[in-house]
Structure 1
């Protein structure tokens, strides 16, 4: 009888221990999800401000470019029209990515599985890198919008040398950043300088929290 009682007691203890571990897992997961939700929520104000600013910029700029193209095409530098139009197109693409990011943040639900939240964070991380790549492609355009045909007709060798050097340098920098902004370089100093702040840090902290939660569940 004593052996049977000991076995039953042991089984009861195992059951209570398992219930306790399951409760700990659930509590840890819920707390992590709330922290992740709070981190992502902190990104909303800046993204909404950037989105509204971008929409105003593209809207206002598009009206100006359209009017210049229709009513003053022969009086405006072609360099300005092309540079401004390309800048607005790239900004519009960035706006689309910001809208996508806000949708992702809105879809975060603490009641959904951790894997679902991890997928959302991966989308935010990837799109943040993409919006940076696209915006950096604007760099050369800031060295050409002020050019005009008369500047080339009346320019000297020094002008051609300086203007060509600046524009080529910005083209090289823009494409170098476009191809090198990727997670493989996240530990490099230039990458950390570019991606410090509320556009990046909350996403990385949230991903770390979810990874720690998964490790905790595995350990238990």
Structure 2
């Protein structure tokens, strides 16, 4: 076999190899996008349920506040108002996340999907912060003037300790629920499940694809 024929065969083999690699990269990216879409779809039912349940809860609490405003004590009204405001903010976050999930297109570039996942991650953390801020009001809504004036000192001390503890815990969680703490045991305990895990899995897959693309370039 002459040298020219060998060179021609080598070039043809190189072209076929390049084409195979190109198709392999395309298939890998397509499979990755499908996996990401699957992870995000797994989050949708829980968020839809949270929105519907939250709306029902807000309607009930708002109705109670309006109906009982003339006769209810101040502790109940303030506690209920704080709780329902935080719940409304959380509902807004869940609606925003559902929009992000709906807008995620498996055919869009990896960077665009990464931006949506980053927004999902950040909003999930904010939603948790807001919901945990409700902790103190669950220990104060039943307070009243009679209880404070005539209650047993020991019971009042216990009540004050519980309310103070919940307040400190809520503040601590608000400032410490951050992505940098994701590997800590308490963080994993709070965020275990379909509220958080699919986002991390999707981010991890896209990061691997992006790293592969950089190496390939």
TM range (shorter): over 0.9
Q: TM-score, normalised by structure 2?
A: 0.94
**Distance (whole Å) between structure 2 residues aligned to residue 12 and residue 116 of structure 1:** 36
Secondary structure at the counterpart of residue 43 of structure 1: helix
Q: TM-score, normalised by structure 1?
A: 0.93
Secondary structure at the counterpart of residue 197 of structure 1: coil
**Distance (whole Å) between structure 2 residues aligned to residue 179 and residue 91 of structure 1:** 19
Matched, 1:95 2:91: yes
Secondary structure at the counterpart of residue 183 of structure 2: coil
Which residue of structure 1 lines up, in the alignment, with residue 160 of structure 2? Answer: 164
Secondary structure at the counterpart of residue 39 of structure 1: helix
- Aligned-residue RMSD, C-alpha: 1.5
Q: How do 1:1-220 residues align onto structure 2 when only pairs under 5 Å count? A: 2-69=2-69, 73=70, 75-220=71-216
In structure 1, stretches of 5+ residues that fail to align are none
**Distance (whole Å) between structure 2 residues aligned to residue 61 and residue 141 of structure 1:** 13
Aligned length: 216
**Distance (whole Å) between structure 2 residues aligned to residue 181 and residue 4 of structure 1:** 67
In structure 2, stretches of 5+ residues that fail to align are none
**Distance (whole Å) between structure 1 residues aligned to residue 96 and residue 14 of structure 2:** 47
- Alpha-carbon deviation of 1:101? 0.3
**Distance (whole Å) between structure 2 residues aligned to residue 77 and residue 67 of structure 1:** 13
**Distance (whole Å) between structure 2 residues aligned to residue 217 and residue 20 of structure 1:** 16
